[in-house]
């Protein structure tokens, strides 16, 4: 394969909270991108959308996917009207979705038989990172494997990490979500406790940011927690799905994850209350519910 040029035709399926800004960055960087969306348009958006997946993929040399889970990726590629039969030989699939490592390995093997290269590349950094091109990428392949299309990674990511083997990107993302679970829950507990102690919490949070207790959630979500307002950065329901993947991985090698399991339980309770589509920082509502 020759070095990819930004003008090469790509298709993008999965224009959600992360996929939409990522596709915008690629278009602004010079890529010809064919975008799939069932209702065709976004408000105030000059891009052209296709409501037929096959038409979206037509004449494309690479397919980018950013959807919710194993079943969604399976559907895109191998479901009814799946795109696996329409991918050109020597083309590639970059899967930005967070799915199970086993599913990534299976998709890679099945597409390899069609002379298509599939790579798992889950991302971290929330909507902020997707909009600014500062995502962390966990790539289940070597840099050499991805030479043909590595410029795509440079557009959407700031921290670009190669882990050599298909599925390893997903394994690293599972570790990322374990850490996210613990830090978000700790921030939620600390802020809830501070409020119940009648402390001046804006001053408290600003002071904590300057010490060893600082974290990404404290930096980026403490104001939302203090205001009890949760603009979408990463849906609670999606993080819960990711924790299920991490716990399944741990169970497969007989490792217990007690903290992660507790956060998963907390998220389940919040989802029962209808908070699945709110940002994960809504975890603090669980703390209040169980302390008031």
121, 141, 165 - which closes a domain: 165
Let me know whether 190 and 260 are in one domain: yes
Let me know whether 183 and 142 are in one domain: no
Let me know whether 154 and 224 are in one domain: no
Is 3 within the bounds of a domain? no
Instruction: Using the predicted structure, report yes or no on whether residue 45 has a pLDDT greater than 50.
Output: yes
Let me know whether 197 and 245 are in one domain: yes
Is 1 within the bounds of a domain? no
Q: What is the CATH number of the domain that holds 49?
A: 3.40.50.720
Let me know whether 72 and 57 are in one domain: yes
Q: pLDDT digit string (tens) for 192-249?
A: 999 999 999 999 999 999 999 999 999 999 999 999 988 778 999 999 999 999 999 9
Domain of 80, in residue numbers: 9-165
Q: pLDDT digit string (tens) for 58-108?
A: 989 999 999 999 999 999 999 988 999 999 999 999 999 999 999 999 999
In this structure, are residues 95 and 149 in contact, taking their beta carbons and an 8 Å threshold? no
Let me know whether 153 and 259 are in one domain: no
Name 110's Cβ contacts closer than 8 Å, sequence gap at least 6: 78, 84
Looking at the DSSP bridge assignments, the partners of residue 235 are 279
Place of tokens 């990726």: 73
Q: How many domains is the chain built from?
A: 2
Let me know whether 210 and 101 are in one domain: no
Spatial distance between the Cα atoms of 4 and 61, rounded to a whole number of angstroms: 10
110, 132, 165 - which closes a domain: 165
Among 160, 110, 152, which Cα is nearest to 134's? Answer: 160
Helix 201-208 × helix 216-227 angle, to 10°: 170
Q: How far apart are the first and last CA of the chain?
A: 62
Let me know whether 242 and 208 are in one domain: yes
In this structure, are residues 173 and 124 in contact, taking their beta carbons and an 8 Å threshold? yes
- pLDDT for position 148: 93
Instruction: Using the predicted structure, report yes or no on whether residue 42 has a pLDDT greater than 90.
Output: no
Let me know whether 233 and 147 are in one domain: no
- pLDDT for position 153: 97
Q: pLDDT digit string (tens) for 152-196?
A: 999 999 999 999 999 999 999 999 999 999 999 999 999 999 999
Q: pLDDT digit string (tens) for 110-160?
A: 999 999 999 999 999 999 999 999 999 999 999 999 999 999 999 999 999
- pLDDT for position 64: 98
Let me know whether 70 and 194 are in one domain: no
Spatial distance between the Cα atoms of 95 and 81, rounded to a whole number of angstroms: 18
- pLDDT for position 44: 56
Helix, strand, coil shares of the chain, percent, nearest 5, are 50, 15, 35
Please name the helix (run of DSSP H) or strand (run of DSSP E) that holds residue 117, with its range, or none. Answer: strand 117-120
| pTM recorded for the entire structure | 0.92
Among 135, 61, 57, which Cα is nearest to 98's? Answer: 135
Is 97 within the bounds of a domain? yes
3-state secondary structure of 208: helix
Spatial distance between the Cα atoms of 204 and 197, rounded to a whole number of angstroms: 12
Q: Which strand ranges, in their side-by-side order, compose the sheet holding 62-65?
A: 49-50, 32-36, 9-13, 62-65, 92-95, 117-120
- pLDDT for position 47: 78
Q: What is the CATH number of the domain that holds 266?
A: 1.10.1040.10
């Amino acid at each position: 394969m020759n070095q990819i040029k930004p003008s090469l035709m790509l298709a993008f399926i999965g224009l959600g909270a992360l996929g939409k800004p990522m596709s915008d960055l690629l278009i602004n960087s010079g890529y010809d991108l064919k975008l799939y969306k069932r209702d065709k348009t976004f408000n105030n958006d000059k891009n052209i959308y296709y409501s037929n997946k096959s038409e979206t993929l037509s004449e494309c040399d690479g397919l980018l996917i950013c959807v919710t889970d194993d079943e969604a990726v399976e559907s895109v590629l191998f479901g009814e009207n799946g795109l696996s039969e329409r991918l050109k030989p020597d083309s590639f699939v970059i899967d930005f979705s967070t799915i199970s490592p086993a599913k990534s390995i299976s998709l890679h093997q099945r597409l390899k038989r069609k002379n298509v290269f599939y790579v798992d590349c889950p991302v971290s950094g929330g909507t902020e990172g997707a909009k600014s091109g500062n995502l962390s990428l966990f790539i289940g392949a070597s840099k050499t494997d991805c030479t043909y299309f590595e410029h795509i990674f440079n557009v959407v990511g700031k921290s670009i990490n190669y882990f050599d083997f298909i599925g390893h990107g997903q394994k690293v993302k599972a570790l990322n979500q374990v850490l996210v679970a613990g830090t978000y829950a700790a921030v939620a507990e600390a802020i809830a406790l501070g409020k119940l102690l009648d402390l001046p919490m804006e001053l408290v949070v600003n002071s904590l940011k300057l010490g060893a207790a600082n974290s990404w959630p404290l930096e980026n979500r403490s104001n939302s927690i203090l205001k009890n307002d949760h603009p979408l950065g990463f849906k609670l329901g999606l993080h819960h799905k990711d924790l299920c993947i991490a716990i399944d991985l741990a169970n497969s090698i007989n490792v217990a994850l007690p903290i992660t399991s507790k956060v998963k339980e907390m998220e389940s309770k919040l989802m029962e209350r209808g908070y699945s589509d709110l940002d994960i920082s809504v975890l603090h509502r669980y703390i209040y519910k169980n302390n008031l």
